[in-house]
Structure 1
C-alpha cells in the first residue's frame, strides 16, 4: 500500500513538473565535467528569464529532490541544478570509485566548468549564483573571485566558518543537550572540542546529526521537507534513493576540509551584488555570524533578510517566502527591472 501511494504521488508530481510553455526549457543529462560524468538539469518556463546556478548543500545532498517544492521558481528564473561529484545521480553513475578527486578545490574547479558550460549552452554572459548550506563555502569563493561570470550572489543557510572564531552553534548545542538531560550525548560532543578543523569526517557528521535531532524545528523540517521530498521525488526510484543516501555518506569527507576555511581572511570585498537570506531560527548555520559577515562585506548592492519560522533548509521549507525575496530584492538588481511578481 505504501509503495502504491508513493507511485501515485510521484506520478502526480511528475505531471506538475512538465514544462509546456513555448519558450520554456526542461532538459537533463550527464555532462563531462572535471573528467567524470556529472548530472545537470536546466528548467524554466521562459529562456529570457535570469539563469540561476544552484550550488547544493550536504555535502552530497542534491537539490533535485526539491524540484516539486520549488516549481514556482521556474516561472521567474531558468534554474540549473547540478549534482556535484559525490552527490545524487553523479554518484549513482560512477559509484565511489568513479568520483575522482574529492577536494574542495576540485569542486570549485568543477563549478567553474559547469558555469562555462551553461553560459555556452544557454547563450548568456552571467549566471545568478544561488548557494545553500555546504554549497555556500564554494559559492563565496566563486562570487569573490569571478564577478565577471555571475550577476549576483545569494546565500541561504549561509555557512560562515570564519577560521573557527565563532563557536556559538557548538556552545548552543551543548546547552540544548544539557537542558534535555542527555549527558552521554553531551559528553561525546564536548570531547570533540570546539575546533572543527580538528574533527574527523565521522565527528563532523555526528555533530550535524546531533544538531538536527536536538532542535524541534530543524528536526521537523528534516522529516516533513527533506525526507518527504526524498521519498516522493519523481526523478529518483528506490535504487536512486539508496544511491542518494550513499553519496551523502561518501561526501562527508569534504566536511572537515571546509572547517579550515576563513572567509574573512579570504576577503569581504565583492564586486557583484551580495545577498544573504537566512532562516531566523537556524541552529546549524546561525543567522548571527551570517549577518555579521554581511555587514562587513563591501559590494555594489547588498542585502540581508531573515526567513521567519525557519531553521536550516529555509528556502525549501518556505519556498514562497524565498521566491518573494528573490523577486523583490535580487531580480530587479540583475535585470534592471522594477520589483514585483
Structure 2
C-alpha cells in the first residue's frame, strides 16, 4: 500500500513538472567538470529569464529532490541544479572510489568550471549564484572573487564561519540538551568541545544530527519537507535514494575542512549585490551571525531578510516566501531594472 501511494504521488508530481512553454527548457545530463562526469539539470519556463545557479548543501545533499517544491521558481528564473562530486547522481555514477579529490578547493574549482559551462550553454554573461547551507561556504568565496561571472549572490541557511570565535549555536545546543535532560547527548557534545575545526567527520555529523533532532521546528522540517521530498521525488528511484544517502555519508569529510575558515579575514568587500535570506528560527546556521556579517560587508547593494516559520532549509520549507524575495528583491537587480530603496 505504501509503495502504491508513493507511485501515485510520484506520477502526479512528474506531471506537474512538465515544461511545455515554447521558450522553456528542461535538460539534464552528465557534463565533464574537473575531469569527472557530473550531473546537471536546467529547467525554466522562459530562456530569457535570469539564470540561477544553485550550490547545494549537506555536504552531499543534492537539491534535485526539491524540484516539485520549487516548481513556481521556474516561471521567473532558469534554475540550474548540480549534483556536486560526492552527491546525488554524480556520486552514484562513479562510487566512492571514483569521486577524485574531495576538498573545498576542488569544489570551488568545479563550481567555476561549471559556471563557465552554463554561461556558454545558455548564452548569458553572468548568472545569479544561489547557495544554501554548506554550499554557502563555497558560495561566499566565489562571490568575493568573481563578480565578472555572477550578477548577484543569494545566500540562505548562510554559514558564517568566523575562525571559531562564534560558539553561540553550540552553546545554545548544550542549553537545549540540559533543559531536556538529555544527559548522554550532553556528555558527548561537551566532550567534543566548541572548536568545530578539531572535530572528526563523525563528530561533525553527530553535532548536525543532534541540532536537527532536538529543535522541534527543524525536526518537523526534516520530516515534512526533506524526508517527504526524498521519498516522493519523481526524479529518483529507490536505488537513486540509497545512493543519495550514501553520498551524504561519504561527503561528511568535507564538514571539518570548512570549520577553520574565517569569513571576516577572507574579506567583507564584495563587488556584486549580496542578499542573505535566513530562516528566522534557524538553530543550525542562526540568523544573527549572518545579520552581523551583512551589516559589516560592503557591496554595491546588500539586503537581509528573515523568513518566518522557518528553521534550516528555509527556502524549501517556505518556497513561496523565498520566491517572493527572489522576485521582489533579486530579480529587479539582476534584470537591470533597479529596486526601491
TM-score (norm 2): 0.99
The residue number in structure 2 matching 1:319 is 319
Query: Hey, what does 1:150 align to over in structure 2?
Result: 150
Q: Partners of 2:227 and 2:28 in 1: how far apart? A: 23
Q: Please list, as runs of the form range in 1=range in 2, the aligned pairs for 1:44-123 lying within 5 A after superposition.
A: 44-123=44-123
Cα distance in 2 for residues equivalent to 1:311 and 1:252: 21
- Secondary structure in 1 aligned to 2:270? coil
Number of the residue aligned with 2:164 = 164
Q: Contact between 1:164 and 1:195, CA under 8 Å: does it hold in 2?
A: yes
Q: Give the equivalent residue in structure 2 for 1:328.
A: 328
For residues 129-164 of structure 1, the C-alpha deviation after alignment (integer angstroms, 9 at most, x for no partner) is 000000000000000000000000000000001101
> Which sections of structure 2, spanning at least 5 residues, go unmatched?
none
* Number of positions where the alignment pairs a residue of Structure 1 with one of Structure 2: 340
Deviation at 1:260, TM superposition (A): 1.2
Per the alignment, residue 310 of structure 1 pairs with 310
d(CA) in 2 for partners of 1:204, 1:40: 28
Moved over 3 A (4+): none
Give, in whole Å, the separation in 2 of the partners of 1:282 and 1:102: 28
The whole-number CA distance in structure 2 between the counterparts of 1:275 and 1:139 is 12
* Residue aligned with 1:163, SS: coil
Q: Do the aligned partners of residues 45 and 165 (structure 1) sit closer, same or farther apart at CA in structure 2, a change above 3 Å counting?
A: same
Partner of 1:180: 180
SS of the aligned residue for 1:250 comes to helix
SS in 2 for 1:47: coil
Q: Secondary structure of 1:277's partner? A: strand
Q: Which residue of 2 aligns with 1:212?
A: 212
Aligned equivalents of 1:71 and 1:337: distance in 2? 24
Paired with 1:44 and 1:156, the residues of 2 have a C-alpha distance of: 21
Provide structure 1 residue ranges, at least 5 long, that are not aligned to the other structure: none
Distance (whole Å) between structure 2 residues aligned to residue 315 and residue 208 of structure 1? 19
Q: Deviations over 1:52-85 (max 9, x none)?
A: 0000000000000000000000000000000000
Instruction: Assess if the C-alpha contact under 8 Å between 1:331 and 1:339 holds in 2.
Output: no
Contact 1:30–1:37 (8 Å) recurs in 2? yes
> For the aligned residues, what is the CA RMSD?
0.9
Residues 148-200 of structure 1 deviation map (CA, whole Å, 9 limit, x = unaligned): 00000000000001101100000000000000001110010000000000000
Per the TM alignment, residue 20 of structure 1 is displaced from its structure 2 partner at its CA by: 0.4
CA distance in 1, matches of 2:74, 2:116: 21
Deviation, 1:339, is 6.3
Secondary structure class of the residue paired with 2:160: coil
CA contact (8 A) 1:177 1:185 kept: yes
Task: Please give the residue correspondences for 1:33-52 in structure 2 after superposition, counting only pairs within 5 Å.
Answer: 33-52=33-52
Aligned partners of 2:66, 2:132: CA distance in 1, in Å?
Answer: 13
Deviation at 1:336, TM superposition (A): 2.1
- Whether 1:267 aligns to 2:267 is yes
Q: Residue 194 in 1 paired to residue 194 in 2?
A: yes
Q: How far apart are 1:17 and its partner, in Å?
A: 0.3
Structure 1 CA distance for aligned equivalents of residues 7 and 93 of structure 2: 23
Q: Separation in 2 of the partners of 1:312 and 1:184?
A: 25
- Aligned partner of 2:279 in structure 1 is 279
C-alpha distance in 2 between matches for 1:339 and 1:20: 31
Hey, what's the Cα distance between the residues in 2 that align with 1:339 and 1:70? 24
Where 1:164 maps in the other structure, the secondary structure is: coil
Q: Report how far residue 107 of structure 1 moved.
A: 0.3
- Cross-structure match for 1:124: 124
Instruction: Tell me the residue number matched to 2:138.
Output: 138
